[in-house]
Structure 1
């Protein structure tokens, strides 16, 4: 299932515009992640990620501005070294076949919506989930 079956390229960028990317053929799974690291990385109640196959994700500009933070648990997060915008996430067991990127950095509209909340056992105590999406205490498999 693709969110853009006509193969239209979606575009996104960091806050300062130094880093730009394009993506096509989004994977159908998109999630709001409530883990404490995503909350801190985004400065918000949760981070929302889309997924694309590596061959459908391309940096257009500013790749040299990307910085990578490797967390103590081995996950990796990329961000803009100029403005700090959160851009990508890679799990510990990353196979290198997909790119998880922050939906908030897209400039293009998409037709699909996130389908779940993950790592809800770490949810900010000041935020109440108010939609009917499935909630998982850890990842989707929990």
Structure 2
């Protein structure tokens, strides 16, 4: 499914980030290769659970009851999925004090 950059309040807070790259993955195509016993989850809104690694705290995916797909946090992938984001969603929930578009950019942070 396509990659979207989500700006909603719950994604922002769950990931401590201004925006989050997400993509739906059909449940039939999704499986954990290892570490399932280290997952922990919480219900962020009725029927939606967000799954985290209990060791490092990374938000890995979310799932809604009854949906045929999970919502993957694309930034957790180690390899290029071969897709690019189609656009930004939930920008109505952007916070103006987090807009960094006019700030200088650096390839890396120096000490």
Instruction: Indicate yes or no: 2:70 matched with 1:99.
Output: yes
Q: What's the RMSD between the two structures over aligned residues?
A: 1.9
Which stretches in structure 2 are left out of the alignment for 5+ residues? 102-111
- Cα distance in 1 between the residues matched to 2:25 and 2:98: 28
Pick 1 or 2: higher relative contact order, CA cutoff 8 A, min separation 6: 2
Which stretches in structure 1 are left out of the alignment for 5+ residues? 1-26, 131-142
Superposed CA offset, 1:99-128 (max 9, x none): 111001000112211112111111122344
Superposed CA offset, 1:5-34 (max 9, x none): xxxxxxxxxxxxxxxxxxxxxx2x211111
| The one of 15, 29, 43 aligned to 1:70 | 43
**Residue correspondences, number:** 101
Match of 1:61, SS state, is coil
| The one of 67, 89, 92 aligned to 1:118 | 89
TM-score by length of 1: 0.64
Report runs of 4+ in structure 1 exceeding 3 Å deviation.
127-130
